[in-house]
Chain A
Amino acid sequence: MPRRRTLNPLTELLGAVLLVVLVLVVNRWEFSLAVLLLVVVPAVLVSGQPRRIGVAIVLVAGPLLLSSVLLHGLFFPEGRVVLLDLGPARVTQEGLVFAALMGLRMSVFTGVLLTTAMTLDLPDLIATMTHRGWNRKLVFIIGSALGLLPHVALRARQITRAQQARGLVVGRGPLSRLRALLMVTTPLVIGLLVDASERNHMLEARGFSSSGPRTSYLPDTDTAAQRTGRRVATVAVLLFAAAWLVIGAVA
């Protein structure tokens, strides 16, 4: 199922970020559409888990797209060309164009970042950051938070079931919802804080706050070529962005 890796996770991540910046800079619906069709769709297809990623993209972007079309399609006071008058709401050409531009942009963002995140090899990424000498507090927070996420979600589900077994019923009123939220979050937070305090003592005993060099147990998958590639790509995108904006301002 997992695809063969040729690139370091840091390179993949930077590539995704630069693509997002490019879409923002160029800001044409043709370019967004091209990125969507030529980059995002093939990437999802070859990722080895197209269905899972596809469902995630639709779940994240779908509601946003729909509500964006409703908002700008119906309410766009700046619009001149009125296609349909519905009293307070007016369907205007400008509003629909605006909604399409924003919708394409949002789809590209979601597609690029979600595909990268869902195929990301997390231990490899953390190891690369350690090898590259990133701030180890930052590396600890990132690694620990991403590792903690599924654990927190699982625990929240278990606590919800346990409270439901003890008679928790979530009603429609805001007070009932607030009570349910408290009944789940309070035990969740207490458990997590106790874990954190244990981790605190363990980390201190192992010299976490020392400033010496670190060793990673995982081998370095980063190559000199990729490091150079990352720098070149960043500089190229920055230069392109500057040139594009200057030309746009002059024209």
Chain B
Amino acid sequence: MSSPLTLPPEPAAQRSRSLLLVLGGALIVATYVFLVTVQPTEIAGGMGSAASLVSLVGFLGGGALLVGGILPMLTTSSLVVIPLGIALNIAIGQIAGSLGMQIYLDAIGTVLVAVLAGPAAGAATGALSNALWGLFNPFALPFAAGAALIGLLAGLAAKHGAFRRVYFAPVAGLVVGAIGGIVAAPVAVFMFGAAGTFGTNAIIAVFRSMGDKLLVAATKQGLLSDSLDKIVVFVVVALIVYALPQRAVRQFPFARTHRVLGERSGGRATTPAGADTAAR
């Protein structure tokens, strides 16, 4: 854990934390299952006000529970990079959106934090950055749970060595993006009728003209755009972290202990997880 210079570590309320995590995860999964199995018929007839409300409350509430469970277990060194990741997400995502690109590029900060500080910090970054971005761009708001999932998966991929070689990164990006796209599609459909940028809507229109249901068309579009987007994001993040000075990488216990960057991590594999004193 962290290394307070003067104060003893606070007593851990381990059980309530994991309860929050389990509840948050269960709420998100339940919301997704509900949307996919119960509602798709409703959208063709009238409009499901229950569906959009469930997607907003379920995904946002689940994301909030996850963040509540994750925050207490983060060290200060992971905590200070989260705002950085959030600011990067929003700044780059806004540029990509205003250029009308077919990919979003709004997860660079999330993946970067996940690679350096671990899956938990990545999930918190994803959820919080979409919640904050929602203030300026309401269309980001309901995707908070999907963004948290991206952060979590990216961190797990990094832990198991997806960033040790540059050619592993796009493979991991493809898998993470495909999962993320499937999860994000019902949100886009039930909240906004699948409205997106011109680029993404053109893809949906192609599937719609073939007679697909809106949810099916949006899922196919999500699979295409999100996989492509995450491949690019993962490669960009890999190239960025390879260019980082060793000192910057070494301040993160996660990157050190799991040798996330292989030889470039700078630490020894035997470093105990508890030793968070700045190794300089």
Residue of A nearest to B45 (CB): A78
Question: Residues 230-263 of chain B: 1 if any A CB is under 8 Å from the residue's CB, otherwise 0?
Answer: 0010011001100111001001000000000000
**Please, which residues of chain A bring their CB within 8 A of the CB of B192?**
64, 68, 102, 105-106
Question: Residues 92-133 of chain A: 1 if any B CB is under 8 Å from the residue's CB, otherwise 0?
Answer: 000000110110011001100110110010000000000000
Cβ of B21 < 8 Å from any Cβ of A?
Answer: no
Q: How many A-B residue pairs have CB under 8 A?
A: 208
The complex places the Cα of A135 from the Cα of B211 at a distance, in Å, of 49
Cβ of B88 < 8 Å from any Cβ of A?
Answer: yes
Stretch at the interface among B24-32, B160-168, B193-201: B193-201
Cβ of B266 < 8 Å from any Cβ of A?
Answer: no
Question: In the assembled complex, how far is the CB of residue B49 from the closest CB belonging to chain A, in whole angstroms?
Answer: 3
Interface residues on A, range: 35 or more
The complex places the Cα of A228 from the Cα of B91 at a distance, in Å, of 37
Cβ of A164 < 8 Å from any Cβ of B?
Answer: no
Residue B3 contacts which of A75, A110, A204 (CB distance < 8 angstroms)?
A204
Q: Is the CB of A204 within 8 A of B240?
A: no
Question: Residues 45-87 of chain B: 1 if any A CB is under 8 Å from the residue's CB, otherwise 0?
Answer: 0010110110010000000000110011011110111111011
Q: Is the CB of B193 within 8 A of A209?
A: no
The complex places the Cα of A148 from the Cα of B90 at a distance, in Å, of 11
Cβ of A39 < 8 Å from any Cβ of B?
Answer: no
**What residues make up the interface of B, taking CB atoms closer than 8 Å to A?**
2-7, 9-10, 44, 47, 49-50, 52-53, 56, 67-68, 71-72, 74-77, 79-84, 86-88, 90-92, 98, 100, 105, 108, 112, 124, 128-129, 132, 134-139, 141, 192-198, 201, 204-205, 208-209, 211-213, 232, 235-236, 239-240, 243-245, 248, 251, 278
**What residues make up the interface of A, taking CB atoms closer than 8 Å to B?**
20-21, 24-27, 59-60, 63-65, 67-68, 70-72, 74-78, 88-89, 98-99, 101-102, 105-106, 109-110, 113-114, 116-117, 120, 135, 137-138, 140-142, 144-149, 151-153, 156, 178, 181-182, 185-186, 188-190, 192-197, 199-201, 203-205, 207-211, 241, 245, 248-249
